[in-house]
A and B are shown apart, each in its own frame.
Chain A
Amino acid sequence: MTEEKVQKLRLTPSQTVGPYLSLGLLREDWSELVSPDHPQAIRIEGTLYDGAGDPVTDGLVEIWQAAPSGRYDHPTDDREELPLEEGFHGFGRSGTVEEGRFSFVTLKPGPVPGPEGTTQAPHIMVAVFARGLLKQLITRIYFEDEAEANAGDPVLRSIADERMRNTLIARKEGGNRYRFDIRLQGEGQTAFFKLSE
């Protein structure tokens, strides 16, 4: 079949994970992307809140990120000159069953290429699933202690509203710990993204 004859198929619609997502999606703990004993390990902790300010206890947070070198462990990223951390795949999953809390042990990602020759500041892609979400919400975690890189980041720069921009910054809580709360709705709502076509 030639490329011209490829017929575009219509996408399958999204539906909510419902309240019982833990049956299928939390059978294994994937919240530690590296051992907590890893010398560069960081811990990211947060709570998922709804529009009434109540913790969401039937949600799921997934993350995807580059290695400390800035390379993704994926065949599309063929920059072989950048090392991948042994055993580090960049994907994590944490349920919010315990009082809406999620947490990850991971490595801080490096900067990665952005559109039109720009460089993106170290960041983690985040997908949020829950009962009441008919499709996942997408956000990003940036790091408070990367002020200079954040100032040049093309995505952060595109957000004019400083309050919204600040919802994407994980706050350093001492040592190697960061806090990143997610608010689905209402005062202090987290900035969520729509992926461009």
Chain B
Amino acid sequence: MEQPPYLYPDYVGTRLRAPKEPLIILPKTLSDVTGPVYGHHRPGELDNDLTRQHEGEPQGQKIIVHGRVLDGDGRPVRNTLVEIWQANAAGRYRHKVDQHPAPIDPNFSGAGRTLTDDDGYYRFVTIKPGAYPWQNHYNAWRPAHIHFSLFGRAFRSRLVTQMYFPGDPLFYQDPIFNSVRDEKARERMISTFDLDATIPEEALGFRFDIVLEGRYATPFERPHA
């Protein structure tokens, strides 16, 4: 299974939310091979630098997260909106629901966005997020991760995923990471350390390439004059 199932009981949250009725096959039509195009909501200049959104510098280790967004045929997905959100260095989200007693960082909101360029390339400057406990099972901790949201070219290529960090000791006990049953597929969610992207004396680089569903044949025939 390359994509996770809806019902994965080890992840307790799926138990009351996974649909039980079988999914209905939806034929490919214009409705799903088209999708939102983002000319009209340009991200702000500093939206891709999460370390410069406040007066002071956030706590923690500065990192560069970058990569390419490609379709299944290896073609760049251009000008698509990439949105991210994450915990701070102590593993705390700046969100009223997060009651983890780790400190809030007044200089870190934990949200960013950018558009891919003509090569499908994106880049964020941020802080390495901390692991944090959650109450899914005894002594449950989420591996460090950054949430990613991508649109791609069409409604059917829409993807929300999480980027993980190489060598995280918490993978084996995390049901969200392990809901993807195929080991090779799980590895595609793990970024790679990137010395070339690392900035001397300043920030570690991590590379995370993302592959979305690909190009689409014209789903309807139209008469030509």
Residues of A within 8 A of B (CB): 6-25, 27-28, 30, 50-52, 54, 56, 58, 62, 64, 66, 72-77, 79, 89-91, 112-115, 117, 120, 123, 125, 127, 129-138, 154-155, 158-159, 164, 184-186, 189-196
Distance to closest chain A CB from B150 (angstroms) = 9
A15-B161 CB under 8 A given contacts A9-B74, A134-B5: yes
Residue of A nearest to B160 (CB): A17
| C-alpha gap A22/B94 in the complex (Å) | 10
| C-alpha gap A42/B84 in the complex (Å) | 31
The reply to whether B2 and A185 form a contact with Cβ atoms under 8 Å apart is: no
A–B complex contacts, Cβ < 8 Å, 23 sampled: A9-B70, A10-B2, A11-B213, A13-B3, A13-B180, A16-B160, A19-B97, A20-B85, A20-B97, A23-B111, A24-B111, A28-B41, A64-B34, A74-B37, A91-B36, A112-B31, A115-B27, A120-B31, A135-B3, A184-B17, A185-B18, A189-B20, A191-B21
A133-B17 CB under 8 A given contacts A11-B72, A15-B176, A24-B83: yes
Most chain A CB inside 10 Å of its own CB: which residue of B21, B154, B218: B21
The reply to whether A25 and B36 form a contact with Cβ atoms under 8 Å apart is: no
| C-alpha gap A33/B219 in the complex (Å) | 26
The reply to whether B185 and A137 form a contact with Cβ atoms under 8 Å apart is: no
The reply to whether A115 and B29 form a contact with Cβ atoms under 8 Å apart is: yes
Q: Mark B68-80, 1 if CB is under 8 A from A, else 0.
A: 0011111000000
**Beyond A17-B149, A64-B155: 18 further Cβ-contacts under 8 Å?**
A9-B70, A12-B212, A20-B97, A21-B85, A21-B147, A23-B85, A24-B84, A24-B85, A24-B147, A25-B85, A72-B30, A74-B35, A74-B37, A129-B160, A132-B16, A155-B26, A192-B24, A195-B28
The reply to whether B16 and A134 form a contact with Cβ atoms under 8 Å apart is: no
Partner of B72, one of A9, A56, A158, A192: A9
| C-alpha gap A58/B110 in the complex (Å) | 18
Q: Which 6 A-B pairs have the closest CB atoms?
A: A24-B85, A132-B13, A91-B36, A74-B34, A132-B17, A134-B4
A134-B155 CB under 8 A given contacts A64-B36, A79-B222, A89-B40: no
What's the tally of chain B residues with a CB closer than 8 Å to chain A? 80
The reply to whether A14 and B18 form a contact with Cβ atoms under 8 Å apart is: no
* A residues in contact with B186, CB < 8 Å: 13
* B residues in contact with A12, CB < 8 Å: 159, 161, 188-189, 210-212
The reply to whether A132 and B11 form a contact with Cβ atoms under 8 Å apart is: yes
* B residues in contact with A76, CB < 8 Å: 30, 33-34, 154, 216, 218
| C-alpha gap A20/B25 in the complex (Å) | 31
The reply to whether A193 and B26 form a contact with Cβ atoms under 8 Å apart is: yes
| C-alpha gap A12/B19 in the complex (Å) | 23
Most chain B CB inside 10 Å of its own CB: which residue of A76, A89, A164: A76
The reply to whether B19 and A184 form a contact with Cβ atoms under 8 Å apart is: yes
Partner of A115, one of B3, B28, B95, B216: B28
| C-alpha gap A119/B5 in the complex (Å) | 32
